[in-house]
Amino acid sequence: MPDWQRAFAAAGATVDVRWWDDATVDPAAVRYVLVWDPEPGRLAKLPKLEVIFGSGAGVDFITADPDLPRHVPLVRMATPGAAQRMGEFVTWAALSLLKGARRIGAAQAERRWDYFEPEWTAPETTVGIMGLGHMGAAAARMLQGIGFPVIAWSRTPKQVPGVRSYAGGAERDAFLTATRILVCLLPATPETRHILAKPLLDALPDGAGLVNVGRGSQQKIEDILAALDSGKLSGAVLDVFDQEPLPPEHPAWTHPKLLVTPHLASLPPRSERAAHVAKLIAAHERGEALPNTYDHARGY
């Protein structure tokens, strides 16, 4: 809490910042909340709530609350720094797959001189991004910067310089066939649940790579492990899991073709998130519209 309070004060916010569980706070005095996964039912008990700020870009842990006050705007954390961090992570993941980082790390841990020649270069490796939103567009730019051809698949067609856009179910398989490294940057919705499963993986070229930085609910981990075993996938980087933290006994930890990262692809510091929220509160109080609000009908 002191970190958050300092960060809001440094951002010039005039709000009184209190901890979620502070028993001295009158629920009727709370106008704004900044939350990641609030206990179901708690938000509904704040009668004067004006805005819910999600502390992440994905707000699925907030919308999972059956009592979520749907009339209160819910704002996603779409800061430029978050997109920058995500772009860096996705570019690192794509390069890690290209250069065999998992294999190199395993050999080093055993002091083993495992000489091999990575086969592909970036210009020969098309990266296909599923979800060309705030995060996906930043990742596309950075990947292009080091020579990866980039294509993308989204719900509606997009115009991003140099990125071939595929949209909707009808164009999904054409997108997958043209993809050598698949990056999932979709929001968690009923439509995207278990999208990263055998039927989709089968549509990729043999030996494709996979990066999931969306949500664990989007992957069927047993299908991904089977595809890595069969060689359908040559490697994967998974940052998100159904159960987080990933339990120590989970087979994903030790798979030789899988890099596991602990849901850290894009984690803007508290100072950046507080400054962003402070700016939006000031805008809201001037009567301006809030950006990046969650659309209940669309589900993201």
Residue numbers at the binding site for ligand OXD (CB under 6 A) = 56-58, 77, 266-267
The order of strands in the sheet holding 150-154 is 164-167, 150-154, 127-130, 181-184, 208-212, 233-238, 258-260
Question: Which of 87, 100, 209, 214 contacts ligand NDP by CB under 6 A?
Answer: 214
Residue 54 engages ligand NDP in binding (rule: CB under 6 A): no
Q: Choose between 76 and 180: whose C-beta lies nearer to ligand OXD.
A: 76
d(CA 200, CA 220) in angstroms, rounded, equals 11
* Cα→Cα distances 79→1, 10, 128, 266, 298, Å: 21, 17, 23, 11, 21
Counting contacts by CB under 6 A, is residue 174 touching ligand NDP?
no
d(CA 212, CA 201): 13
Identity of the amino acid at 40:
P
Per-residue binding string, ligand NDP, 56-85, x by CB under 6 A, is: xxx-------------------x-------
Concatenate the DSSP letters of all residues of 201-218 into one string: HHTSPTTEEEEE-S-GGG
Q: Which is nearer to ligand OXD, 100 or 216 (CB)?
A: 216
Each residue 225-264 as x (binds ligand NDP by CB under 6 A) or -, in order, gives --------------xx----------------------x-
Query: Which residues face 210 on adjacent strands?
Result: 182, 236
Decide: helix, strand or coil at residue 238.
Answer: strand
Tell me which of ligand NDP, ligand OXD, none is bound by residue 131, counting a contact when its beta carbon lies within the kind-specific cut-off of 5 to 8 angstroms. ligand NDP
Q: Among ligand OXD, ligand NDP, none, what does residue 187 contact (CB within 5–8 Å per kind)?
A: ligand NDP
* Catalytically annotated residues: 215, 263
Q: Based on the number of CB atoms within 10 Å of its own CB, is 262 exposed (0-12), middle (13-18) or buried (19 or more)?
A: exposed
Candidates 45-53, 200-208, 211-219, 248-256; binding stretch for ligand NDP (CB under 6 A): 211-219
In the region spanning residues 88 to 147, those forming contacts with ligand NDP, defined by CB under 6 A, are 131-136
| Cβ nearer to ligand NDP, comparing 75 with 240 | 240
C-alpha of 125 from chain center: 22
Minimum distance, C-beta of residue 181 to ligand NDP, in the bound complex (Å): 17
Minimum separation from the CB atom of position 122 to ligand OXD (A): 26
**Contact, 166 vs 194, CB < 8 A?**
no
Cis omega (within 30 of 0) for bond into 245: yes
150 binds ligand NDP (CB under 6 A): no
Contacts with ligand NDP, residue ranges (CB under 6 A)? 56-58, 78, 86, 131-136, 154-156, 185-189, 191-192, 213-215, 239-240, 263, 265-266, 300
